[in-house]
């Protein structure tokens, strides 16, 4: 457990999509109050996905990464994956750690602390999915997963799949 707190960060409220609110990625939430946080935090109006979600920094599962508003990215805790296809044949489903990057700071993913964290996660079989919004992003393969021990950015013109719905994932995790 960690004693970290969001404080006045609020970057997740801008970068992540919230289906219950029809809020798109990289769009300020209607409930944000400048410098004061969420106006409905802890209230009945607060969507379940917001109530149950927290970033990896807040959970203490982000190594030496600093608070999201200082790094300009949010490391998502929600599980996801990418499909790697070759010549039209699905080769593999690879788990990814989603990193939502503020488009105003497109190179924030080059932060050495984030890269060190992602390289460690690569040893566990995770690549990174660097996202600027729901459609624009790329796969970042850490040196721990490559034969040349270099970082690889895999950009593609692939079709974005629909966003996973938090409540559907929660139901699967609960076994309902």
Q: Which range in 67-76, 82-91, 133-142 is most confidently predicted, on average pLDDT?
A: 67-76
27 part of a folded domain: no
Host domain of residue 92: 56-174
100 occurs within a structural domain: yes
In this prediction, residue 71 carries a pLDDT of 97
Round to whole Å and give the CA distance between 84 and 70: 32
Report the pLDDT value the prediction gives residue 157, as an integer from 0 to 100. Answer: 56
Task: Establish if 22 belongs to a structural domain.
Answer: no
Predicted pLDDT of residue 1: 54
Confidence of residue 143 (pLDDT cuts 50, 70, 90): very high
What integer pLDDT is reported at residue 53 of this predicted model? 87
Quote the DSSP letter at residue 139.
E
- What's the Rg (C-alpha) of the chain? 16
150, part of any domain? yes
Checking if the pLDDT of 75 tops 90, the result is: yes
Specify the number of domains making up the chain.
Answer: 1
Mean pLDDT for all residues in the chain? 84
Contact 67, 39 (CB under 8 A): no
Residue 7 belongs to a domain: no
Residue 46 located in a structural domain? no
Residue 77 lies in a domain: yes
141-165 core/surface letters (b: 16 or more CB in 10 A; e: else):
bbeebeeeeebeeeeeeeeeeeeee
Residues 82, 22: contact at Cβ < 8 Å? no
**Once rounded to an integer, what is the mean pLDDT over residues 111-139?**
94
Model confidence, pTM: 0.83
Q: Is 129 inside a domain boundary?
A: yes
């Amino acid at each position: 457990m960690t004693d970290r707190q969001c404080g006045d960060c609020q970057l997740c409220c801008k970068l992540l999509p919230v289906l219950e609110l029809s809020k798109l990625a990289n769009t300020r939430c209607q409930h944000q109050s400048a410098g004061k946080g969420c106006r409905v935090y802890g209230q009945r109006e607060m969507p379940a996905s917001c109530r149950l979600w927290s970033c990896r920094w807040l959970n203490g599962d982000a190594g030496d990464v600093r608070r999201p508003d200082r790094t300009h990215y949010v490391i998502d805790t929600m599980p996801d994956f990418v499909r790697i296809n070759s010549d039209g044949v699905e080769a593999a489903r690879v788990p990814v750690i989603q990193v939502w990057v503020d488009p105003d700071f497109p190179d924030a993913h080059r932060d050495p602390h984030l890269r060190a964290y992602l390289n460690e996660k690569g040893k566990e079989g995770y690549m990174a999915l660097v996202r600027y919004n729901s459609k624009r992003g790329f796969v970042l393969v850490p040196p721990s997963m490559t034969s040349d021990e270099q970082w690889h950015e895999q950009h593609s013109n692939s079709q974005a799949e629909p966003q996973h719905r938090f409540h559907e994932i929660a139901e699967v995790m609960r076994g309902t």
